[in-house]
Amino acid sequence: MTQDNRALDRIDRAILRELQRDGQLPNHVLAERVCLSESACLRRVRRLEQCGLIAGYVAIVDQREAGYPDDVFVQLTLASQQQRDLEAFEAAIRDVPEVMECFLMSGTFDYLIRIVVADARDYERIHSRTLTRLPGVARVTSSFALRTVMRRTELPIR
């Protein structure tokens, strides 16, 4: 968002809350819920999209039902932190379909990665055939999540 668009009013916040709960909400229903006319509501949604606050719309697929019941969190360290090495690793990790999130970190390791897997054997395959072969990888430390306590898809809107 540009500096001019950063101030969200009560209606913008209400629109964002409603669309985070249901991105397929028809405009006439959204307009009714936020107390606007349909045309005014649509203009606001388009403005929120154009300024980048609404980045897109997706379907949230149930991970377990899709055959990936387990999450593995990987702490990965590269042999070098030179910019070209970071860029090579980051380009390669984007091509691993089981990687759901990858964060460049400060601290004792370089990247924190969330990987979805079917089971331990599936992770072993990804570890030996993919992770350890990525550019510059020096160390991989993995932890299986025992269960998901909570997972949010809605950002708090202030």
Instruction: pLDDT tens for the chain, 158 residues: list them.
Output: 444 446 899 999 999 999 999 999 999 999 999 999 999 999 999 999 999 999 999 999 999 999 999 999 999 999 999 999 999 999 999 999 999 999 999 999 999 999 999 999 999 999 999 999 999 999 999 999 999 999 999 999 98
Task: From 65, 90, 55, 64, select the one nearest 76 (Cα to Cα).
Answer: 90
Q: Which domains does the chain have, with CATH numbers?
A: 3-50 (1.10.10.10), 70-144 (3.30.70.920)
Which tokens hold the place of 41? Answer: 């509501």
Task: From 29, 59, 61, select the one nearest 45 (Cα to Cα).
Answer: 29
Whole-structure pTM over 0.85, yes or no?
Answer: yes
- 76's CB contacts (< 8 A; 6+ apart) are 109, 110, 111, 112, 113, 131, 137, 139, 140, 141
Quickly count: other Cβ atoms within 10 Å of residue 30's Cβ. 20
